[in-house]
């Protein structure tokens, strides 16, 4: 891809040293306690980034996010995690700016995948990115007052900076938040906001500031010759958008000319809540991100916090059995998610609900197991720092339930064995038989929504979307965690980069997951009865200062948690920063480019093939 | 041949469709109308339609299923302190609750002003509860547990959805009924079926608690065999003296209760005159499924 020489090393330090030689005065090591990586002078950020990509091979920018160090060192910074698609750990680099006039040059020309992430940083932190062509709010609406992730911003029902709140105990006479702050008085507008804009229903105002690249005025002007160009709003309430997600498309006939995704309808400022929470409190909140794969979310967050805890003295890593159970859970989750993704992709293609229901019927069997083990079918809340909630139960149904449900009373290991060796492989084969050769599906999907590999990398897409474009990048292999290094599986990869390959790769991945699960079963039997925790399970651990980026290969792609522990010298109990690198959100960057030139009906299928979930996109 | 793939797919659909009727014919429609035939439709070998006719039929939930929490109190037929809260208002559940929906008012002694280990009030806002189960997981006294009742919808959230202590309290036997395995595990970890504080007091007094097993799960706790030793007069610590005084009082109440209401022999003991000691497998109590089922059936029948 590049004609420059690539420094052939997976060693990050060598790359950093070479970089320091090239840019002697602009780069410093980040020497804060528990931090790593380098701090780049923001005036040279673009050059350094270009060198990183072109000369040192860091072609994949996983995450870009902001942190506000209000009250600690009173600056803001952008934190970037760059990787090589050939594998290896991250090169973390940061750029700092003042809080009063925060400005950091945009990296959109180096890695177009930062597009949405920079818009998010502008939206939530108020950092401006000169050079970004379309810098506007992304999750909040244009009339929103302030930038909510700033440390000095307080939400409508603000009570205290950190949980647990004083009012709950020992003098906890209950009251509702809305009794104190009655609805209607908690909406603020910026001083110069024109409220009449809210009731202005004209086409122009509706589509103003959306960067559509066409003049609405011209389109609606009666005096001009009528063209067949049309602006169409798809969503936010539409079955094909997988939630509340809106796409504004301009059509020329049936053909898409521009597509602008609009999101944030499900935004709840998850990350702000995460900073009010204690470290443990966040665990069940991660379930609500990608609510189809809560086990995977749990693991990503647990890995991030465990990285921090490992710097302290008292931490003990999870036992081998705990690791086996974790892998068991996340691989089952991958299968669950792909059943769902395939079923609903077929919905989007017009095969209304028959394939989806066949897939869901199988998924239910796995959810039964989750429910018996973790207590909930979807909101599993199963991982803990240094282990998991509890060992597998002896039987799927408890004694009491056996009275009225003889149906699902199984020995857990027998159930799992049958599930993994018989049911799941059979149902994958059935889906394969059912769908793969269908001429209708082929004609709707082959060659549609093509994403070339260079673009897939540049847009920081992840997971099946990236791998269906011929980039064999899988965090489980590229930057391994848990016990994946000792497991035998292949990274599924397909090369055509269209919808059909994205469907096929999900089948491939399910088969690989079954392969992993078959290796996990004997390990589980071998370790039966061994403890889950090497240390003790703590509810409010003190977390040593520092930063950590925990990432896992979630079913939808790379899920990352950037967690900062700062402030309290003794080790804070609440994260200073809690950021989610959501694969659905970032993969959507590629939606527009993939859709251009296709028909309206294809947009729905292309969106379905990315497999997004709005709980994670909007956070 | 073009269309072959479509035909293959249609064949799969047809198989699913056909199997529904095969099953129907096999059970001649019975699989829909009788509770006993529920397993036919829902089992791993089921074919065709899987529909559950909610709310006439319900899937049972597993033991670890968590919905909203409830507070454990002593059974109404407890010999010493019927209906007493297990909660000591230590506040840990309120601290670990992620959405902060637990509100506890700790009791205090009216004369000394010292906190007493009893909640005056306890609220859970079930609209806010995210069913995470942390409160039950981290309560050091096993005093708060996750309920299985998921039908909490009501027409007016403002009056029904803040559960107070009365609403939340459920006897220990309820917990044993909905989650016997877990209840037993917890009791084994505590060292007896009683509240940890009671067990601690018993240990101090040199008494040994009954080892929890499946057999004595529903047996009534026995009153202590010998009285607790008298207070050490040399101890000048007022707090300790206070505690001892309280213990004496409790003991007096206990004795009074003994006189008033003779302890009935446990039902289970009557059923099995010479209960065979449970054979321990490892350090887990042995699970006798048949006996357990019998016991639960018995209890259900007793209730009516
Ligand atoms: S943690 Fe247990 S004992 Fe402590 S206040 Fe909560 S319910 Fe009561
Ligand atoms: S289940 Fe979770 S959210 Fe609900 S009361 Fe307990 S700790 Fe709070």
- Residue nearest ligand 1's atom 4 by CA: B90
CA distance B259 to A610: 74
CA distance B100 to B83: 27
pLDDT, one tens digit per residue, over A354-376 is 888 888 888 888 888 898 898 88
Residues A148 and A283 in one domain: no
**Tokens 């559950």 sit at which residue?**
B52
End-to-end CA separation in angstroms for chain B: 67
**Residue percentage of chain B with pLDDT more than 70:** 64
Among B162, B96, B99, residue whose Cα is nearest residue A159: B99
Residue B71's DSSP bridge partners are B144, B169
CA distance B49 to B29: 12
Q: Categorise residue A26: left if φ over 0, alpha if ψ from -120 to 50, beta otherwise.
A: alpha
Over residues A348-352, the mean pLDDT reads 83
The pLDDT confidence band at residue A330, using thresholds 50, 70 and 90, is very high
Helix ranges restricted to H, chain B = 4-27, 30-33, 38-42, 92-96, 134-138, 157-160, 165-168, 172-178, 180-190, 196-204, 238-260, 267-271, 289-303
CATH assignment at residue A528: 1.10.645.10
Average pLDDT of chain B to the nearest whole number: 74
CA of B172 to the centre of ligand 1 (A): 15
| B69-73 and B169-171 strand pairing | parallel
Q: Establish whether the linkage from the previous residue to B292 is cis, with ω within 30° of 0.
A: no
Which of A456-460, A483-487, B88-92, B202-206 shows the lowest per-residue confidence on average (mean pLDDT)? B202-206
Count of domains forming chain A? 2
pLDDT, one tens digit per residue, over A436-477 is 888 888 888 888 888 899 889 989 898 899 999 988 888 888
- Residue nearest ligand 1's atom 8 by CA: B87
Which one of B19, B95, B101, B127 makes the best mutation probe of the A interface by having the most chain A beta carbons within 10 Å? B95
| Closest residue in chain A to residue B124, using alpha carbons only | A174
pLDDT, one tens digit per residue, over B216-225 is 878 776 655 5
Residue B180 confidence (pLDDT): 84
Domain locations along chain B? 1-60, 69-179, 228-303
What ligand has the least distance to the C-alpha of A277?
A: 2
Which of A415-429, B26-40, B231-245 shows the lowest per-residue confidence on average (mean pLDDT)? B231-245
Residue A208 confidence (pLDDT): 63
Among A220, A226, A190, residue whose Cα is nearest residue A206: A220
pLDDT, one tens digit per residue, over A564-582 is 988 777 778 889 999 999 9
Which of A91-105, A128-142, B21-35, B233-247 shows the lowest per-residue confidence on average (mean pLDDT)? B233-247
**Tokens 């004795």 sit at which residue?**
B255
Helix ranges restricted to H, A147-202 = 177-180, 196-199
Residues A463 and A603 in one domain: yes
Inter-chain residue contact A404 with B60, CB threshold 8 Å:
yes
CA of B120 to the centre of ligand 1 (A): 12
Is the beta carbon of B130 within 6 A of some atom in ligand 2? yes
The pLDDT confidence band at residue B270, using thresholds 50, 70 and 90, is very low
Helix ranges restricted to H, A310-451 = 320-349, 354-374, 399-402, 412-418, 424-431, 439-445
Is the beta carbon of B117 within 6 A of some atom in ligand 1? no
Residue A261 confidence (pLDDT): 86
CA distance A545 to A342: 42
Residues A276 and A152 in one domain: no
CA distance A448 to A450: 6
The answer to whether the beta carbons of residues A278 and A312 sit under 8 Å apart is no
Residues 6+ apart with CB under 8 A from A52: A15, A19, A58, A82, A91, A93
The answer to whether the beta carbons of residues A271 and A578 sit under 8 Å apart is yes
Among A138, A164, A236, A259, residue whose Cα is nearest residue A593: A259
The pLDDT confidence band at residue A225, using thresholds 50, 70 and 90, is low
Angle at A422 between CA A416 and CA A424, to 5 degrees: 80
CB contacts under 8 A, B 91-130 vs A, are: 91-92, 94-98, 100, 102-106, 115, 121, 123, 125, 130
Residues 6+ apart with CB under 8 A from A206: none
Residues 6+ apart with CB under 8 A from A498: A445, A446, A447, A448, A449, A450, A451, A468
Over residues B293-300, the mean pLDDT reads 68
Among A120, A139, A138, residue whose Cα is nearest residue A129: A120
B52 touches chain A (CB under 8 A): no
- Residue nearest ligand 2's atom 4 by CA: B129
Over residues A533-545, the mean pLDDT reads 81
Please state which CATH number belongs to domain B69-179.
3.30.70.3270
B182 touches chain A (CB under 8 A): yes
- Residue nearest ligand 2's atom 8 by CA: B97
| A577-581 and B69-73 strand pairing | unpaired
Residue A439 confidence (pLDDT): 85
Residue A152 DSSP code: T
B297 touches chain A (CB under 8 A): yes
Quick one: which atom of ligand 1 is closest to the CA of B89? Answer: 5
CA distance B140 to B144: 9
- Residue nearest ligand 2's atom 6 by CA: B135
State how far the alpha carbon of B108 is from the alpha carbons of A421, B88, B103, B124, B196, in Å: 59, 12, 16, 21, 21
Which run of H or E residues covers position A617? helix A614-618
Question: Which structural domain range is residue A125 located in?
Answer: 1-157+187-194
CA distance B146 to B175: 9
End-to-end CA separation in angstroms for chain A: 34
Inter-chain residue contact B63 with A398, CB threshold 8 Å:
yes
CATH assignment at residue A55: 3.30.460.80
Helix ranges restricted to H, A244-319 = 270-276, 282-287, 294-309
Residue A88 confidence (pLDDT): 83
Residues A473 and A341 in one domain: yes
Neighbours of B196 (CB within 10 A): 17
* CA–CA min distance B63, chain A (Å): 5
Is the beta carbon of B119 within 6 A of some atom in ligand 2? no
Over residues A196-216, the mean pLDDT reads 64
Which of A94-108, A327-341, A458-472, B274-288 shows the lowest per-residue confidence on average (mean pLDDT)? B274-288
Residue B34 confidence (pLDDT): 60
**Tokens 């002896």 sit at which residue?**
A394
Residue A199 confidence (pLDDT): 66
> Is the pLDDT assigned to residue A16 strictly greater than 90?
no
Residues in chain A, overall count = 619
Is the beta carbon of B131 within 6 A of some atom in ligand 2? yes
CA distance A451 to A458: 11
Residue B260 confidence (pLDDT): 45
pLDDT, one tens digit per residue, over A266-293 is 898 899 999 999 999 999 999 998 888 9
Residue A599 DSSP code: B
> Is the pLDDT assigned to residue A593 strictly greater than 90?
no
């Amino acid at each position: 891809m590049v004609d420059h020489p690539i420094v052939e090393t997976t060693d990050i330090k060598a790359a950093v040293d070479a970089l320091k030689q090239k840019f002697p005065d602009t780069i410093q090591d980040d020497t804060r306690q528990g931090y790593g990586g380098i701090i780049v002078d923001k005036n040279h950020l673009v050059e350094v980034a270009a060198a990183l990509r072109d000369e040192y091979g860091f072609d994949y920018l996983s995450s870009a996010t902001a942190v506000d160090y209000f009250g600690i060192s009173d600056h803001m910074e952008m934190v970037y995690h760059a990787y090589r698609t050939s594998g290896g750990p991250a090169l973390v680099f940061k750029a700092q700016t003042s809080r009063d006039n925060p400005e950091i040059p945009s990296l959109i020309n180096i890695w177009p995948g930062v597009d949405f992430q920079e818009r998010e940083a502008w939206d939530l932190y108020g950092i401006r990115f000169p050079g970004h062509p379309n810098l506007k709010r992304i999750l909040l609406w244009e009339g929103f007052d302030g930038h909510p992730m700033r440390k000095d911003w307080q939400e409508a029902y603000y009570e205290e900076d950190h949980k647990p709140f004083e009012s709950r105990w020992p003098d906890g006479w209950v009251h509702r938040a809305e009794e104190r702050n009655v609805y209607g008085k908690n909406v603020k507008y910026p001083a110069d906001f024109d409220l009449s804009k809210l009731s202005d229903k004209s086409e122009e105002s509706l589509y103003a500031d959306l960067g559509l690249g066409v003049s609405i005025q011209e389109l609606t002007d009666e005096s001009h010759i009528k063209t067949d160009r049309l602006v169409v709003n798809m969503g936010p309430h539409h079955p094909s958008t997988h939630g509340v997600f809106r796409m504004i498309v301009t059509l020329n006939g049936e053909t898409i000319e521009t597509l602008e995704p609009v999101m944030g309808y499900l935004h709840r400022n998850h990350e702000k809540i995460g900073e009010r929470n204690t470290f443990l409190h966040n665990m069940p909140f991660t379930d609500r991100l990608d609510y189809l794969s809560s086990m995977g979310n749990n693991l990503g967050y647990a890995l991030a916090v465990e990285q921090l805890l490992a710097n302290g003295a008292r931490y003990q890593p999870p036992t081998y059995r705990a690791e086996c159970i974790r892998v068991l859970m996340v691989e089952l989750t991958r299968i669950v998610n792909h059943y769902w993704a395939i079923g609903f992709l077929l919905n989007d293609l017009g095969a209304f609900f028959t394939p989806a229901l066949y897939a869901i019927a199988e998924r239910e069997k796995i959810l039964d197991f989750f429910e018996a083990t973790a207590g909930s079918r979807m909101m599993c809340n199963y991982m803990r720092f240094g282990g998991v909630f509890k060992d597998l139960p002896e039987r799927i149904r408890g004694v009491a339930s056996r009275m009225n449900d003889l149906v699902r009373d199984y020995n857990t290991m027998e159930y799992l064995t049958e599930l993994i060796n018989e049911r799941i492989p059979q149902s994958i084969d059935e889906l394969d038989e059912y769908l793969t050769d269908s001429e209708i599906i082929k004609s709707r999907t082959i060659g549609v929504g093509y994403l070339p590999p260079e673009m897939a990398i540049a847009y920081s897409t992840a997971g099946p979307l990236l791998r269906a474009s011929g980039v064999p990048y899988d965090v489980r292999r590229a930057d391994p965690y848990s016990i994946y290094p000792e497991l035998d599986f292949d990274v599924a990869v397909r090369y055509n980069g269209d919808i059909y390959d994205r469907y096929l790769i999900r089948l491939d991945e399910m088969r690989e997951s079954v392969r992993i699960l078959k290796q996990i079963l004997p390990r589980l039997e071998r370790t039966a009865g061994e403890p889950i925790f090497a240390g003790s399970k703590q509810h409010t651990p003190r977390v040593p200062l520092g930063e950590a980026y925990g990432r896992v290969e979630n079913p939808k792609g790379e899920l990352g948690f950037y967690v900062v522990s700062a402030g309290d010298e003794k080790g804070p109990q609440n994260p200073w920063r809690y950021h989610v690198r959501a694969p659905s959100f970032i993969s959507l960057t590629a939606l527009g480019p993939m859709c251009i030139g296709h028909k309206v009906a294809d947009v729905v299928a292309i969106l379905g093939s990315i497999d997004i979930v709005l709980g994670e996109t909007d956070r | 041949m073009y269309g072959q793939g479509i035909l293959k797919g249609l064949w799969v659909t047809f198989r699913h469709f056909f199997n529904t009727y095969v099953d129907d014919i096999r059970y001649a429609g019975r699989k829909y109308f009788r509770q006993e035939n529920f397993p036919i439709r829902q089992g791993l070998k089921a074919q065709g339609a899987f529909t559950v006719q909610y709310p006439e039929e319900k899937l049972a939930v597993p033991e670890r299923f968590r919905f909203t929490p409830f507070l454990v109190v002593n059974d109404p037929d407890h010999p010493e302190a019927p209906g007493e809260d297990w909660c000591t208002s230590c506040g840990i559940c309120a601290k670990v609750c992620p959405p902060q929906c637990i509100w506890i008012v700790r009791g205090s002694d009216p004369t000394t002003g010292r906190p007493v280990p009893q909640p005056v009030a306890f609220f859970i806002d079930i609209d806010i509860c995210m069913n995470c189960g942390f409160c039950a997981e981290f309560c050091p006294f096993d005093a708060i547990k996750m309920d299985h009742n998921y039908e909490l919808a009501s027409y007016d959230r403002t009056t029904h959805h803040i559960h107070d202590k009365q609403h939340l309290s459920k006897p220990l036997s309820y917990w044993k009924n909905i989650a016997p395995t877990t209840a037993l595990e917890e009791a084994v970890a505590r060292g007896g079926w009683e509240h940890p504080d009671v067990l601690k007091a018993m240990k101090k007094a040199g008494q040994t608690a009954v080892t929890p097993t499946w057999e004595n799960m529903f047996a009534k706790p026995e009153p202590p065999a010998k009285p607790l030793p008298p207070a050490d007069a040399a101890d000048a610590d007022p707090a300790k003296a206070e505690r001892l005084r309280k213990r004496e009082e409790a003991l007096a109440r206990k004795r009074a209760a003994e006189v008033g209401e003779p302890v009935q022999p446990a039902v289970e003991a009557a059923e099995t005159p010479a209960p065979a000691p449970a054979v321990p497998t490892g350090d887990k109590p042995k699970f006798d499924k048949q006996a357990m089922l019998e016991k639960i059936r018995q209890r259900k029948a007793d209730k009516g």
